[in-house]
DNA sequence: GGATGTTGTCGTCGGACTGACGATAAGCGT
DNA sequence: ACGCTTATCGTCAGTCCGACGACAACATCC
């Protein structure tokens, strides 16, 4: 950070890209948009856009997320993922992108969006590999982060609507980790982790069978003890 | 990522900043440089610099690390930490910085460096708070990352020279976590974690007392089982 | 050379947690 | 009433953990 002359350095464009994940009927899905222009015209890519002059990085990501999904800001979990800046990652010019990871519950089908007419929720395995730019890598990093975070944080509840059952939460874990879990052990661990779940007192039979307790997410953000996946 | 006109967006400068950590006589230390110019003239800051036109982000960080510490490239662990881009974080212009975290063992005292004449290794608690720009935040995030990564990765060995003892490794954990550990339990866990340590067969008495086995780091990068700190 | 101190290494023990299950509860449709 | 489905509670053996005791192998000082 010694003295510098800004004009001596080439213009760099800074964008935010979004890895927006959700769980839809048992599959981990990501929001992708089909590109209309070169480069990579016709290919699918992660949504994203430029950071505006007076906007913080996270604010830019939140704005893009709202634009792209139609969800009210603050509804979803959003965190910075990583930055990607290989010199040739965009053939037009030097673009450094700050990727963000978003987890949303129950998203509406994208269609009313402004220029997001070509957006869709796609199972992760379906679009991988094949995304534009270095977005395969970005998506993989995002999925890895989500998998890891489910282990030791209460983040999985971000994939669930307000009142959810233990079984619904379990299906989230199974979709993200891609592995079946024992319902009885999962129930024990999740209900005994302090601050993870709060019972609402209501029940539902929307999954059939015996009525299940409805929960909302508790105050805890870190899980003690963590919910480890078996060593794979 | 819809169509865009690069000239419609203001120039953004992209830099890399470095959180370089090491352990020196029981204290977690960070490399800081004293600024000679405004803004923040006279204050200490994390080392960093511009990303060059044809340089990847990690490559820029590696170059800065070599320049600043005099260490041969590839000697230390280096990973991306996070990006910081608040619009007013640098009063001169819009600067987005991609912070990186480096862990080094046994660093030389900085002095021969080019413009790093004012660089020093300072205990983390000594410089915090008080760094220039948003570097307090960056340093805190780096320390948090290091603390977390010691739990479930074999990264602590990056703080040790080639042949190290279990006690030296333990002192690394104690310095980073700021908490004493039981030598006997630590020894058991660390030597039974598959792939973490490889005995060299040699011994040393450099810490006094009974001669201790010398180890080099094993092939494992993730620890099974993890080395959890007690719930705090 | 023996006492003493220092550090490294191995064991033991009770408690907590885990995965693999069995058993029971409480709805639904027929 | 009967079976089907899902939820929830228990049991049991194995594993891991922290707290600690015991011993081993050096250096130093008398």
Averaged pLDDT, A147-153: 94
Q: Are residues A85 and A112 in the same domain?
A: yes
Computed over every residue of chain B, the mean pLDDT equals 90
Instruction: Among A6, A10, A83, select the one facing B98 at the smallest CB separation.
Output: A83
Check whether A227 has a pLDDT greater than 60: yes
Q: Are residues A99 and A188 in the same domain?
A: no
**Cβ distance B30 to B23 under 8 Å?**
no
Q: How far is CA B2 from CA A55, A97, A120, B57, B109, in A?
A: 19, 14, 16, 24, 50
Q: Are residues B121 and B164 in the same domain?
A: no
Check whether A87 has a pLDDT greater than 90: yes
Q: Are residues B162 and B200 in the same domain?
A: yes
Task: Write the DSSP symbol of residue B229.
Answer: P
Averaged pLDDT, B53-62: 96
A147 falls within a domain: no
Considering its fold, how many domains does chain B have in total?
2
B112 class by beta-carbon count within 10 Å (0-12 exposed, 13-18 middle, 19+ buried): exposed
* Pairing of the two strands A95-103 and A13-24: parallel
Distance A151 CA to D15 C1' (A): 19
* pLDDT confidence tier of residue B1, bands split at 50, 70 and 90: very low
* pLDDT confidence tier of residue A117, bands split at 50, 70 and 90: low
Number of A/B CB contacts below 8 angstroms equals 107
Averaged pLDDT, A129-146: 97
Interface contact B1-A14, CB threshold 8 A: no
Domain that holds residue B218: 153-231
Q: Sign of the CA dihedral A182, A184, A185, A187? A: positive
Instruction: Among B2, B50, B231, select the one facing A4 at the smallest CB separation.
Output: B50
pLDDT for residue A112:
54
B26 falls within a domain: yes
pLDDT for residue A113:
52
Q: Are residues B158 and B69 in the same domain?
A: no
A63 falls within a domain: yes
A187 falls within a domain: yes
Give the E-state strand segments of chain A in sequence order.
13-24, 27-34, 44-45, 48-50, 77-84, 95-103, 119-123, 197-204, 212-217
Q: Are residues A169 and A114 in the same domain?
A: no
List chain D nucleotides near protein: any atom < 7 Å from a Cβ: 4-10, 16-22, 24-27
CA B232, CA B229: separation in Å to the nearest integer?
Answer: 8
Buried b (16+ CB within 10 A) or exposed e, A22-60: bbeeeebbbbbbbbeeeebeeebbbbbbbbeeebbbbbb
If interface means Cβ-Cβ distance under 8 Å, which residues of chain A face chain B? 1-4, 6, 9-15, 17, 33, 35-37, 45-51, 53-57, 80, 82-87, 92-94, 96, 98, 115, 224, 231
* Pairing of the two strands B95-103 and B13-24: parallel
Check whether B112 has a pLDDT greater than 90: no
B20 falls within a domain: yes
Write down which residue in A83, A109, A139 finishes a domain. Answer: A139
**Cβ distance A231 to A155 under 8 Å?**
no
| Tokens representing residue A150 in the block | 């489910």
* pLDDT confidence tier of residue B5, bands split at 50, 70 and 90: low
For chain A, percent of residues with pLDDT exceeding 70: 91
Question: Whose CA is nearest the C1' atom of nucleotide C18?
Answer: A185
A11 falls within a domain: yes
């Amino acid at each position: 950070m010694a003295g510098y002359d800004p004009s001596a350095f080439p213009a760099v464009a800074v964008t935010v890209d979004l890895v927006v994940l959700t769980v839809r009927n048992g599959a981990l899905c990501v929001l992708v948009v089909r590109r209309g222009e070169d480069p990579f015209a016709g290919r699918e890519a992660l949504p994203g856009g430029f950071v505006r002059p007076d906007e913080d990085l996270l604010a830019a990501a939140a704005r893009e997320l709202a634009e792209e999904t139609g969800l009210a800001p603050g509804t979803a979990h959003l965190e910075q993922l990583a930055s990607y800046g290989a010199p040739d990652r965009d053939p037009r010019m030097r673009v450094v992108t700050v990727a963000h990871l978003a987890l949303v519950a129950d998203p509406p089908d994208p269609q009313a969006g402004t220029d997001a007419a070509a957006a869709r929720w796609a199972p992760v395995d379906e679009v991988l590999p094949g995304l534009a730019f270095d977005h395969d890598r970005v998506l993989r990093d995002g999925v890895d982060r989500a998998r890891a975070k489910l282990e030791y944080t209460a983040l999985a509840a971000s994939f669930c609507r307000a009142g959810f059952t233990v079984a619904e939460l379990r299906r989230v874990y199974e979709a993200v980790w891609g592995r079946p879990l024992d319902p009885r052990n999962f129930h024990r661990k999740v209900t005994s982790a302090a601050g993870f779940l709060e019972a609402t007192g209501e029940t539902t039979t929307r999954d059939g069978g015996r009525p299940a307790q409805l929960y909302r997410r508790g105050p805890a953000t870190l899980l003690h003890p963590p919910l480890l996946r078996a060593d794979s």
